[in-house]
Amino acid sequence: MRMIDLIERKKRAGQLREEEIRYFIREFTAGTIPDYQAAALLMAICFTGMTEQETAWMTDAMARSGDQVDLSSVPGVKVDKHSTGGVGDKTTLILAPLVASCGVPVAKMSGRGLGHTGGTVDKLEAIPGFRTFLDRETFLKNVREIGVCVAGQSGNLAPADKKLYALRDVTATVDSIPLIAASVMSKKIAAGAQAIVLDVKCGSGAFMKTAQDASCLAREMVKIGQACGRRMAAVITNMDAPLGRCVGNGIEVAEAIAVLKGNGPDDLRSVCLDLAAQMLSLARKGSPEECRLIAQKALESGAALEKFEQMIIAQGGDASILNRPQALYEKALEYELSAPQDGWIQRMDAESCGRASMLLGAGRETKDSVIDPAAGIFLCKKTGESVRKGELLARLYTNRPDQLEQACETLRESYVFSAEKPAKIPLIYDVILDKSSLFS
Ligand code: URA
């Protein structure tokens, strides 16, 4: 088999055979296919696409390229969730203990973020002492004993994706729906859960800018999961404004704690309840409507908060932050950004909010940048709210006063004002279910 023949055929929109895709993934992971040939194939895929069958073969090959987590020692239906990534997305911090408190085990491997804000692992590490890197036995033991563990992705899970993603990142080949679908699903399949809920973000702060692209990606991932024997659901959620009011790491943990205490912003709580409903329903706890009520009760009763406390303690963290969540960001200097004019906030550019928070120290500019857990933003005003000139728009937290001016400018530019009250944008655009996972 010659790589040049595969590139040539894909360039002309031809289809690759199963053994060719498996050859490419195997040999690229082993280092015998050079980056320039892999990049040429990736670019051809970006231009001419892949069929569902090709994408499923690629996903399977990538999922089998390294370790596959065996969750069979944990009783019950194990449910995982994945977000395609957005600004202020702290849903995992809420969902993992929430779903576990409803009796469904959550064994979740999460990543760090690059750019914008940190990933779930960075957020959890804002909790003093919290360990995200656990050996496989400890990870499984925690899930067996308390029903939940959220850990960093181990070194050898889907190594093909790790290598391919690094190459895509520097060759402008990230934004291909089949490549994103294969990348996300290979990690989810390797992580071992029987049921997977996807939170596909759509809008200015997401990979997918339009509802049509988000729906296409969601459908593709649901089909791949189904083909690999997983129960699947995908929820397409709005990412035109940051989710909740906090963007950063420690400050997002504080906001997640507020939701777990039955408070917190409505948009964040509502999206979490919708995602929890799908997770519980895939675990056969009832219809999504019934499961949403079960999850709501777990927030109101304090059961979800108690589960989060158990999770923090089991992973070596300081659970006293539950009583003083502001300790997670109060070490940073606080600045205020006020509104430059009267008006309604017509829209926000979520990506710019993410960039502002990165400038404050909450995200990574390069792979090796060090995150400041206390840095971040509290948005006093968001899309759909009115403001008077001089009123507080946001509070910024940073230990990098030299970056403050640029961060303020970036954040100010993310707001678009208007004289008219803007129309309400839905939080959830669509829910895509695989028919076999429908509750009956
Ligand atoms: N997230 C992933 O894990 N992979 C992609 O290709 C894009 C987003």
Residue 370 has pLDDT above 70, yes or no: yes
> In the prediction, which pLDDT does 117 show?
65
Residue 353 has pLDDT above 70, yes or no: yes
Tokens of 200: 């596909």
Q: Is the CB of 186 under 6 A from ligand 1?
A: no
Q: Which CATH number fits domain 79-323+428-438: 3.30.470.20, 3.40.1030.10, 3.40.50.1240, 3.30.70.1290?
A: 3.40.1030.10
Q: Residue 174 — pLDDT band, cuts 50, 70, 90?
A: confident
Residue 270 has pLDDT above 80, yes or no: yes
Q: What percent of the chain shows pLDDT beyond 90?
A: 87
Which residue in the list 116, 123, 168, 285 is annotated as catalytic? 168
CA of 335 to the centre of ligand 1 (A): 34
What are the phi and psi torsion angles at 248 (to 5°)?
150, -145
Residue 115 has pLDDT above 70, yes or no: no
Least confident of 23-32, 200-209, 289-298, 341-350: 200-209
In the predicted model, what is the mean pLDDT of residues 379-393?
97
> In the prediction, which pLDDT does 17 show?
98
CATH superfamily label, 3-49: Transferase, Pyrimidine Nucleoside Phosphorylase; Chain C (1.20.970.10)
**Is it true that domain 329-418 has CATH number 3.90.1170.30?**
yes
What are the phi and psi torsion angles at 21 (to 5°)?
-65, -40
Annotated active-site residue 424? The verdict is no
Residue tagged 């800018």 (tokens): 209
Where does CATH 3.40.1030.10 sit in the chain?
Answer: 79-323+428-438
43-70 pLDDT, tens digit per residue, is: 999 999 999 999 999 999 999 999 999 9
> In the prediction, which pLDDT does 398 show?
97
In the predicted model, what is the mean pLDDT of residues 109-136?
86
Where does CATH 1.20.970.10 sit in the chain?
Answer: 3-49
CA of 247 to the centre of ligand 1 (A): 21
Question: Any residues with CB less than 8 A from the CB of 347 and at least 6 apart, and which?
Answer: 204, 240, 241, 383, 416, 422
